[in-house]
């Protein structure tokens, strides 16, 4: 989908590399630096969230006495640095080395890592703007000569394509009578203007019938479907779906689906929809209530209505639950998932709306819903209880591992806070926020620099919170972890503290 754009970027990259190779042609090469990918997308969705730089020493005899890896935006502005641990003396096997005399300490050799991982945050702890970046490793040999690797270029693309699909009327009858002849779907996007989109109408089996391709800047706010496929053939009465998938330059792919959508050839323009196709009436106040939205033409007067819910495959046994009334069709009907015997049902079910006027019966197309009662599972693990982001090569990175089950997230946020005492009062300050839509990465990374660019203090009391909102606008939050940082030793104006 993005072959043309990738070709342009690679061509641009080739020119840059050709130019830099001429600049470095006369310099001896002792270390090679290479980016693990030509692009990455630090948006916490688990897809290419970090980029790894491979550092290869071409000779084991070559000794490095100092090094620093700098990451720059294409214009040359520095956005991030990694550097050598310069604590020149450290006592082996002693937790008291900080308080030992120099005569009791041993020289600590500079260690050059084989790889470095960048999570995409700059010196201020924030994700910089999208664009082309490059990394350079500068290092000194044992003679004190300062050398540089050739720059390695890559593309940062943090904004995944996001869409919201809306359809006020999910039924239509394309019979050319001027009433509900087409289906209208609204697109609301948050995306780069060059992101690519594919819209498709599908049958119940997922077969693509009608498709469209756009860039963001050309995608219409409203799309109309007349019930025909790409060959111009009118489809049969039944249930259909609309799928919109977006992809950006870095391969971030998002898919959104709307349905079921009722196509009727008989001009019976009645329908019923639900606020969720799956719900879990287990008493946890999350997706506990299913809401039905019956619809009919304003011109159709009725004597009675009946909303029936059947066990899938057992329709002949009668309805498990029925809602009925006379004359006026309600705008919505709530259901707690229980049958007439006050028992919570589980499994697959069908629901149908019947309307009566005299001896005439009008019925909607049966639609499926799923009921389950599994509880939400929320757990967050970490790699180090006492992590120390002081660049000594040990426990420098905090890794968070979310484990989530039976959740339907529209938006989510993970917040790391520090709790401290000031003037005899307990206070908190936010250190780091991770946000996203729908998917959450299986691994979240933090380098110890807060969103305000402040380094984490030693022995900080830390708390981790998880917030999310589902497609029903239900909001939940949980405290998922409490832990404490270790003792960090950092260089401050030539000394260590």
pLDDT digits 0-9 by tens, 9-59? 555 554 555 545 544 445 567 899 999 999 899 999 888 899 999 999 888
Residue 396 has a pLDDT of 85
Give the domains, in start order, of the chain with CATH numbers: 3-156 (2.60.40.2550), 160-267 (2.60.40.2550), 270-373 (2.60.40.1930), 377-496 (2.60.40.10)
Tens digit of each residue's pLDDT, the chain (497 residues): 555 555 555 555 545 555 455 444 455 678 999 999 998 999 998 888 999 999 998 887 788 889 999 999 999 999 999 988 776 544 554 454 455 555 555 566 788 899 999 999 999 889 999 999 999 999 998 888 899 999 999 999 988 899 999 999 999 999 888 889 999 999 999 888 889 999 999 999 999 999 999 999 999 999 999 999 999 999 999 999 999 999 988 788 899 999 999 999 887 889 999 999 988 888 888 888 999 999 998 889 999 999 999 998 887 788 899 999 999 999 999 999 888 777 877 889 999 999 999 999 999 999 999 998 888 899 999 998 788 887 777 788 899 999 999 888 889 999 999 999 988 898 999 999 999 988 899 999 999 989 888 888 889 999 999 999 988 888 999 999 999 998 876 555 544 44
pTM for this predicted structure: 0.79
Q: How much is the pLDDT for 495? A: 44
Dihedrals φ, ψ of 379, to 5°? Answer: -145, 140
* 191 within 8 A of 242, measured Cβ to Cβ: no
Output the CA–CA distances (angstroms, integers) from residue 362 to 302, 329, 355, 365, 483, in the order listed. Answer: 10, 13, 5, 10, 61
Q: Which residues contact 47 (CB under 8 A, 6 or more apart)?
A: 41, 251, 252, 253
pLDDT at 492: 52
Q: What pLDDT does 23 receive?
A: 47
Question: Do residues 285 and 376 lie in contact, with contact meaning Cβ atoms separated by under 8 Å?
Answer: no
Residue with tokens 């506990």: 288
The per-residue pLDDT for 106 is: 56
């Amino acid at each position: 989908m993005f072959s043309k754009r990738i070709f342009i970027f690679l061509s641009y990259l080739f020119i840059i590399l050709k130019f830099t190779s001429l600049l470095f042609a006369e310099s001896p090469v002792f270390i090679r630096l290479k980016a693990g990918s030509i692009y990455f997308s630090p948006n916490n969705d688990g897809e290419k969230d970090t980029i790894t730089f491979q550092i290869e020493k071409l000779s084991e005899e070559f000794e490095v006495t100092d090094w620093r890896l700098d990451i720059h935006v294409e214009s040359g502005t520095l956005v991030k640095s990694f550097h050598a641990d310069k604590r020149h003396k450290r006592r082996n096997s002693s937790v008291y080395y900080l308080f030992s005399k120099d005569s009791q300490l041993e020289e600590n050799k500079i260690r050059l890592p084989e790889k470095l991982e960048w999570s995409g945050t700059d010196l201020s702890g924030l994700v910089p703007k999208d664009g082309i970046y490059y990394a350079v490793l500068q290092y000194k040999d044992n003679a004190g000569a300062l050398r540089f690797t050739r720059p390695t270029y890559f593309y940062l693309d943090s904004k995944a394509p996001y869409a919201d699909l809306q359809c006020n009327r999910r039924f239509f009858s394309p019979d050319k009578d001027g009433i509900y002849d087409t289906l209208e779907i609204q697109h609301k996007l948050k995306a780069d203007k060059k992101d690519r989109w594919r819209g498709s109408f599908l049958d119940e089996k997922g077969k693509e019938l009608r498709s469209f391709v756009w860039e963001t800047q050309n995608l219409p706010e409203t799309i109309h479907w007349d019930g025909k496929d790409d060959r111009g053939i009118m489809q049969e009465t039944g249930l259909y779906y609309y799928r919109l998938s977006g992809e950006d330059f870095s391969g971030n792919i998002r898919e959104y689906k709307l349905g079921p959508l009722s196509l009727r050839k008989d001009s019976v323009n009645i329908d019923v929809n639900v606020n969720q196709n799956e719900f879990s009436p287990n008493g946890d106040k999350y997706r506990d209530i299913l809401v039905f939205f019956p619809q009919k033409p304003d011109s159709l007067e009725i004597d009675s209505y009946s909303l029936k819910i059947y066990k899938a495959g057992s329709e002949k046994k009668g309805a498990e639950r029925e809602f009925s009334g006379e004359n006026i069709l309600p705008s919505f009907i709530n259901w707690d998932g229980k049958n007439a015997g006050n028992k919570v049902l589980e499994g697959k079910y069908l629901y149908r709306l019947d309307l009566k006027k005299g001896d005439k019966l009008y019925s909607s197309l049966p639609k499926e819903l799923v009921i389950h009662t599994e509880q939400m599972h929320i757990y967050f693990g970490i790699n180090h209880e006492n992590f120390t982001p002081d660049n000594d090569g040990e426990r420098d990175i905090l890794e968070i591992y979310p484990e989530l089950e039976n959740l339907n997230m529209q938006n989510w946020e993970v917040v790391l806070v520090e709790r401290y005492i000031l003037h005899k009062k307990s206070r908190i300050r936010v250190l780091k926020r991770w946000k996203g839509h729908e998917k959450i990465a299986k691994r979240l990374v933090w380098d110890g620099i807060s969103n305000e660019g402040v380094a984490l203090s030693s022995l900080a009391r830390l708390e981790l919170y998880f917030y999310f909102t589902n497609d029903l606008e239900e909001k939940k939050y949980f405290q998922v972890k409490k832990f404490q940082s270790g003792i960090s030793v950092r260089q401050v104006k030539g000394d260590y503290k």
